[in-house]
Amino acid sequence: MSSSIQRIGVFTSGGDAPGMNAAIRAVVRTGIFHNKEVYGIMQGYEGMIEGDVVKLGARSVGNILQRGGTILKTARSEEFKTKEGRKKAYDELRKVGIDALIAIGGDGTFTGLHALYHEFKMPSLCIPGTIDNDIAGTDYTIGFDTATNTAVEAIDKIRDTALSHNRLFFIEVMGRNSGYIALYSGVAGGAGAIIIPESETSFDKVYDLLTAGEITNKRSNLVVIAEGSKIGGANEIARKVAERSSYFDIKVTILGHLQRGGSPTYFDRVLASRMGVAAVEGILAGETDAMVGIRDNKIVFNPFDAVMNRPHDIDHDMLRIAKILSI
C-alpha cells in the first residue's frame, strides 16, 4: 500500500442512485482501516470548487448503508467543465491536503475526473453509480438492481388493475440511452412487449404484436418502454395505438424519478461495498485514472479511455428471451 497518499477525498456526482451511501461508507471505513484520512466533498464538483469539504470518521458513515440518495449530495457544475474551474477545484483540494480522489457517478463524472487527473496528476478512481447500467467495463452499476426492483414492483401492481379492467397499459421507465431497466423489468414483469433504444423495433411491429392478441381475445397487456425509445415515449405510442384501434382500453403510467429513490437492495449494498473497498485499496496500490468495475463477479480496473463515452452493450440473449416469452 502507498504511503505517499494520506488524505482521500470522496464525492458523488450526477444523478443519485441507491447504493451510493453504501459506497461512501465503504470508502471511508477502508481508508481509516489503512490509516488514511478521508474527506467528504459536498455537492460534487460544485462543492469541490467552493471548498465545501468535511472530514469523515467511521461513525460519520454509520447507519447510512440502507439509505437511498447520497449523504454528500450531488450537483452539476458548468464551471468545472472549464480549465479555470478545475484549477479552482484543485487548489481547494490542496488547501485541505487531499492527495487522491474517489468519485461515485456516471460518464459525466468520469470525464471530469479524467480531465483533472491529466491536468494536475492527482491520483483518482471512479466507482460506477447510475441506475441505467449504461457504463462499459462493468456488468452492473450501483443502483441498477434497486431501480429495476422498483420498476418490477410497480409493474406487478399495474398488472392487477390491467387484468381487472381488461386494459392495455404502457409503462415508461427510465433509460434515456440504455434499455437495461426496461428489458430486465419487462421480462420479470411479464410484459407483452418491451421497447428500448437499442432495438430496431418499429411502431408497426409493436402494433402488429399487440393486435395479434385480438385473435385470442387478449384484452389486458403490458408494454414496458424505456424513456429513450426511438419510436416515442409511452404517451406517444399509446396515442398512436388508440388512433388505429378501438379494441383496447388504454392507460399510461410513467414511473419517472420513483426509480431513483428507496432503500438499496442487498445486491446494490454488497456491490457498492465491494467497489468502495476496491477503490481505496486500488488507489493505494497505484491504480489511477481508472474505473472500478465488476465482471464475472470479479473486481476489475478499467482505464478511463476504455470506458468513457462507450455504451454498455445490451444483453441480446435477454432480448431473445423477452421475444419468446411475450407470446
Locate 188 and state its grid cell.
420479470
How far is residue 7's CA from residue 31's CA, in Å, rounded to a whole number?
9
How far is residue 100's CA from residue 97's CA, in Å, rounded to a whole number?
9
Asked if 132 is an active-site residue, the reply is: yes
Query: Across the beta sheet with 53-56, what order do the strands follow?
Result: 53-56, 37-41, 7-12, 100-105, 124-128, 290-295, 298-303
Q: Which of 16, 91, 107, 132 is catalytic?
A: 132
H-only helix segments in the chain: 20-33, 44-50, 83-96, 107-120, 144-165, 180-188, 203-211, 234-244, 266-284, 304-307, 316-325
CA distances for 12 relative to 25, 103, 245, angstroms: 12, 6, 47
Packed helices 144-165 and 180-188: angle between N→C axes, nearest 10 degrees: 50
What single-letter amino acid sits at 269? R
What single-letter amino acid sits at 67? R
Question: Residue 41: which H helix or E strand, with range?
Answer: strand 37-41
What single-letter amino acid sits at 77? S
* Catalytic positions: 132
